Chain A
Amino acid sequence: MNDVKNTHPVYTIKDFNLWYGETQALKNISLEIPEKQVTAIIGPSGCGKSTFIKTLNRMVELIPSVKMEGSIHYKNEDIFKPNAKVESLRTEVGMVFQKPNPFPKSIYDNIAYGPRIHGIKDKKTLDEVVEKSLKGAALWEEVKDRLNENAFGLSGGQQQRLCIARAMAVEPEVILMDEPTSALDPLSTAKVEELIHELKNDYSIIIVTHNMQQAARISDKTAFFLNGEVIEFDATEKMYSNPHDKRTDDYISGKFG
């Protein structure tokens, strides 16, 4: 599973620093995130992993006191350059959140939401997008007979896969996942993990998780964050069997965290 290929980076982060007011949350981050692989971000609570992933689609800017320094390139484009359109970045970089957040609409409308906003009106095309996305998120078989029912009626795990399908429906290149299974039971977690494994054929996935076993199971590369710094970034297999840094070893072996 951990066949580390030499691929183009989808994200290139250089000397990136971020502050919330006076508190520095990210320190000198430099990373290259590979395309069409699963990159896991692990680390203890408060280490900056969520902040980091939210920076990649600029959602972090919703917090008013944020200050940033350094550069992040998405496919050779500086995401912070003055004329960069944050909406088009977010169309190419989808996001799945910690807690499933479907819209209070039907299953169908949840998926068709993004495509409709981006101008697709044709019913037939929408039908296809909905079916394809739900199949992609391994949810189609469970919901195909009740597409018009409210999404709030689905179980937590189904809702999370619905959110993944919703993100896929706008055909992104990257899907960011911020602890997508932390609110799910073990069975639903297994389903989502299985799904992530499938998805990396078509998408670059960056996943934040506090669950080290999960990172080991699903990722190709892992970055270990501690106090806002990247301590180690390597192929997952190598990191788990033979970590470079003592602190990584301590964290992975459960000495803290």
Chain B
Amino acid sequence: MTPKKADKIAVNVLYGLSGIIVLILASLLTYILVRGVPQFSIEFFTQPAKTFEVGGGIIIQLYNSFYLLLLTLLISTPVAMGAAIYLSVYAPQNSFTTFVRTAIEVLSSLPSIVVGLFGFLMFVVQFKLGFSILSGALALMIFNLPLLTRTIEDSLTAIPSSQREGGLALGLSKWETVTRIILPAAMPGIITGVILSAGRIFGEAAALIYTAGQSAPALDFTNWNPMSITSPLNIMRPAETLAVHIWKINSEGLMPDGPDVSAGASAVLILAVLSFNLLARYLGKKIQKKITSA
């Protein structure tokens, strides 16, 4: 076989392999959307779920998913940011920092159900937080931290050292160089990383089943007292999210239209995660463009 021919075959094989990936994604998406989108209706998005009857909606679960996402990001972003800054700027190369990096890697490979059970024992039982949004957010923080730290660290180290030197040479302290030069320059990467992690959080179920709980008490969206059990702001109430809802319907749902609700909810979930991804790409590109072009 001539090298030219071998090259051609190799390219075609690789082309085919990438095609398979796209095909899997496309058929999955098509199936979920074709099955799910017809379930969309105003009631579906505005009514609470029904346990025994036909026609339940997903408003509470959808809201819970977003609220939990927001809380998780509020807790985990600062922690990940701090760790990433330390690792990329300050950390010396020694056995301790190697240990920290290894710990992060191990943490990122923990199965989410294990994180969920750990969260159950730690936050729900030990800290007596009960099945609550707070327990769920803390478990998701553990689930989310390693990858987020890694992405932020990567965006920070991607800033050329000439930028850092430029700042230091102007008489900026190390910390000023971090906050005023490196962080702003790394912002597109950081924002992309945070949004991508949002997609992972939004779709996570296993880590939440035993932490945020599997029930969605009725919410009164006019009640702004964060201590009240019906208030959407309350972080101590159990809160079934959309992903958990899908799991629940399929494992023990009693409503006659369970498969339809599940299909609709899956479509919403997929669309949300998809839009997070697209948003991440769009924002990342846009900020990058703003920063680099004249």
Q: A residues bordering B, Cβ < 8 Å?
A: 57, 59, 62, 64, 87-91, 94-95, 97, 99, 101-104, 113-114, 117-118, 149-150, 152-154, 163, 166-167, 170
Contact = CB atoms under 8 A, between A and B. Distances in A.
Given A99-B162, A101-B162, A103-B181, A152 B169 contact: no
25 contacts: A62-B168, A87-B173, A90-B171, A91-B170, A91-B171, A94-B170, A95-B169, A97-B162, A97-B165, A97-B166, A99-B162, A101-B160, A101-B166, A103-B163, A103-B166, A103-B167, A103-B185, A117-B171, A149-B294, A150-B291, A152-B292, A153-B293, A154-B294, A166-B166, A170-B171
B216 interface: no
B19 interface: no
Q: Which of B162, B168, B180 has the most CB of A within 10 A?
A: B168
A150 B170 contact: no
Secondary structure at chain B's binding surface: helix, strand, loop or mixed?
helix
A78 B104 CA distance: 43
B176 interface: yes
Given A91-B170, A99-B162, 10 more contacts: A94-B170, A101-B162, A101-B165, A103-B185, A104-B185, A117-B171, A150-B293, A153-B293, A163-B166, A166-B166
B175 to A, nearest CB: 11
Contacts of B172: 87, 117
Contacts of A90: 168-171
Contact of B294 (A113, A118, A153): A153
B87 to A, nearest CB: 15
A95 B185 CA distance: 21
Interface string B253-294: 000000000000000000000000000000000000001111
B16 interface: no
B54 to A, nearest CB: 56
A87 B171 contact: yes
A97 B164 CA distance: 12
Contacts of A114: 170-171
A57 B170 CA distance: 10
A94 B172 CA distance: 11
B180 A59 contact: no
B124 to A, nearest CB: 45
Nearest to B181: A103
B294 A152 contact: yes
Q: Which 8 pairs from chain A and chain B are nearest by CB?
A: A153-B294, A91-B171, A95-B169, A101-B162, A90-B171, A114-B170, A104-B291, A101-B166
Contacts of B162: 97, 99, 101
B292 A62 contact: no
A94 B165 CA distance: 11
B92 interface: yes
A104 B292 contact: yes
Interface in B192-206: none
Contacts of A154: 294
**Interface size band for B:** 20 to 34
Contacts of A163: 166
Contact of B171 (A101, A118, A150): A118
B168 A150 contact: no
A117 B166 contact: no
Contacts of A152: 292-294
Nearest to B290: A150
Contacts of B185: 103-104
Contacts of A97: 162, 165-166, 169
A142 to B, nearest CB: 13
A4 B183 CA distance: 46
A89 B93 CA distance: 27
Contacts of B293: 150, 152-153
B92 to A, nearest CB: 7
A72 to B, nearest CB: 17
Contacts of A94: 169-170
A90 B163 CA distance: 15
A114 to B, nearest CB: 4
A89 B169 CA distance: 9
B160 to A, nearest CB: 8
A59 B171 contact: no
Contacts of B93: 64
Contacts of A95: 165, 169
Contact of A167 (B168, B169, B176, B291): B169
A114 B181 CA distance: 12
Contacts of B176: 117
Contacts of B171: 87-91, 114, 117-118, 170
A106 to B, nearest CB: 10
A153 B290 CA distance: 12
A94 B170 CA distance: 6
Contact of B163 (A59, A89, A101): A101
B286 to A, nearest CB: 14
